[in-house]
Structure 1
Amino acid sequence: MAEPDQAAFWDERYATGEYLFGTAPNAFLAREVHGLAPGSKVLAIADGEGRNSVFLAQHGHRVVATDVSARALDKARALAKRRGVEVEYWQVNLAEWEWPAEAFDAVVGIFRQFAGPGLREDIFDGIHRSLKRGGLLLLEGYREEQLAFQTGGPPSICGDDIGHHQHNC
C-alpha cells in the first residue's frame, strides 16, 4: 500500500473531474511505440490517469500500470473502459514496491520528476530487475535546463516539491 502522504498528495492533484495531463499519449511514447514487439508485456510506472497505459493497450500490448494514487487509477480504469481496452492497474508506492523479476518485455517511465536522487536509483534498480533480458526501456525525463523554463517538472534539481526522497540534496 502507498505511503499515506504521497498517496494523499497525488490524490489531491488528481481530484479534478478533468484529466490533469489530458487523455492523449505522451508525444515521446507515441513516436517510439513502434519499437515494441507486437503483444509485448509492458509495465507503465507511475502512470497517473492512464493516458499512456491505455495508448499501449490500444496498440495491442498487455499492460500493467502502477500509480500511488487511488484517484488516478480510478480515472485510468474509466479511460480504459471508454476506449474498450484492458489494463491491469496496481496501486503501489515505488519506494516500497517489490519489483517482479524479469516480468516485462518493456518498461515505460514518463517524467519521473516526483523522484529525488535516492528514489530514482531505487526505480532504476527496479526497472533493471523487472525487464526481461533484451527488454526495452522507454524513459522520458527532464534535463536540468528545464528549471529555467519553469513550464513543468521539478522546481529544483533535488526532485519533487513535496520534500520526499531528496537524498543527497
Structure 2
Amino acid sequence: MSKEHWDNSFSDQDFVYGETENVLIREMSGFIPEHSKVGCFAEGEGRNAVYLARLGHDVTSYDQSTVGLDKTKALAGQNHVDVETVEMDLTQEKVPTNQYDAAIMVFGHVPRESQQFFVESMIDSVKPGGYVIFEVYSEDQLNYRTGGPPALDMLYDPADILDWIKPYKCIHFYYGEATRDEGKRHVGLGHVIQVVIKK
C-alpha cells in the first residue's frame, strides 16, 4: 500500500490501533536483553516502539507514513521517552544489516511480492545472536473480518514464513486464532501467525 494510503489511514486524531503495545510484543519482550538497540518495522503510530523505549531500549521506528511517524514522536513525548523515526518504504529499501540486538514487526502487511524482501530485511538488520519477534494476520483472517487488509495478497501464508525463518533458531511459532483489541482497527478474534527467532 502507498505512503498516501497510510498517511490517510493514520490521519484520525486518535490512535487508530490504540496506544497500548501488542500482546505478543509484551509477552515476548523478555527475550530482548536490557538496553538493547531495537528496530521496529512498519511501526505505524509507534505504540510498540514507545513500549520498548519505556523498558529502557534504544529504539528506532521505521514506517513510510510521515503522519504515523509524527504520531510516534508525539506518543513518545507523552511517555517521556525518545524514539528515533525513519521514513522508509520497507518494500523497496533495505535497512542496514547487523545493527540491532532485536527487531519487531506487528501487522506489517505488504503485497505478496514484497513480503520476503520485507521480512528478510528485518532479519538481516539484526546482529548474529539477536532476536526477531513479529505477528501478522494469516490468509485465513479474511474469514474473520476483525481487522487487517481485506485482500488475500496482503496477508501471509504460514508456509512462506516457515521457509524464510528456516535458517534460524525458532523459539516460538504459532499459527491460529488470537483475540486482539487494538484501537478501532483490530477488534476481536482473528487468525494470526506469530514468530520469535534467534539469529
- TM norm. shorter chain > 0.5: yes
Alignment map for 1:1-169 (pairs within 5 Å):
6-113=2-109, 115-159=110-154
Please tell me the residue identity of whatever aligns with 1:18: D
Q: Partner of 1:57: helix, strand, or coil?
A: helix
SS in 1 for 2:152: coil
- Mapped to 2, the partners of 1:25 and 1:39 lie a distance apart of 18
Cα deviation for residue 106 of structure 1 reads: 0.6
Q: How many residues align?
A: 155
Secondary structure at the aligned position of 2:137 is classed as coil
Contact 2:106 2:135 in 1 (8 A): yes
How far does the alpha carbon of each residue in 1:33-53 deviate from its partner, in whole angstroms, 9 at most, with x for none? Answer: 111100111000011111000
Q: Which range moved further: 40-49 or 151-160? A: 151-160
Structure 1 residue matching 2:139: 3-state secondary structure: coil
Q: CA deviation at 1:98?
A: 3.0
Cα deviation digits, residues 10-32 of structure 1 (max 9, x gap): 11111111000110101111111
Normalising by structure 1, report the TM-score. 0.87
- The answer to whether the 8 A contact 2:123-2:132 is kept is no
Per residue, is there more strand in 1 or in 2? 2
Other structure's SS at 2:59 match: strand
In structure 1, runs of 5+ residues without a counterpart are: 161-169
Distance 1:57 1:131 in 2: 17
How far apart are the structure 2 equivalents of 1:65 and 1:58? 14
Instruction: Tell me which stretches of 4 or more aligned residues in structure 1 moved more than 6 Å.
Output: none
DSSP-derived class of the 2:115 partner = helix
How much does 1:156 deviate? 2.8
Whole-angstrom distance in 1 between the partners of 2:150 and 2:4: 20
Q: What amino acid maps onto 2:34 in structure 1?
A: P
Cα displacement (A) at 1:126: 0.7
Q: How far does residue 146 in structure 1 lie from its aligned partner after superposition? A: 1.5
Once residues 146 and 67 of structure 1 are traced to their aligned partners in structure 2, the CA distance between those partners, rounded to angstroms, is: 23
Distance 1:7 1:116 in 2: 14
Map Cα deviations across residues 64-93 of structure 1 (whole Å, 9 max, x no partner).
001111011111101101100011100111
1:125 maps to amino acid? E
AA of the residue aligned to 1:95: T
Identity %: 32
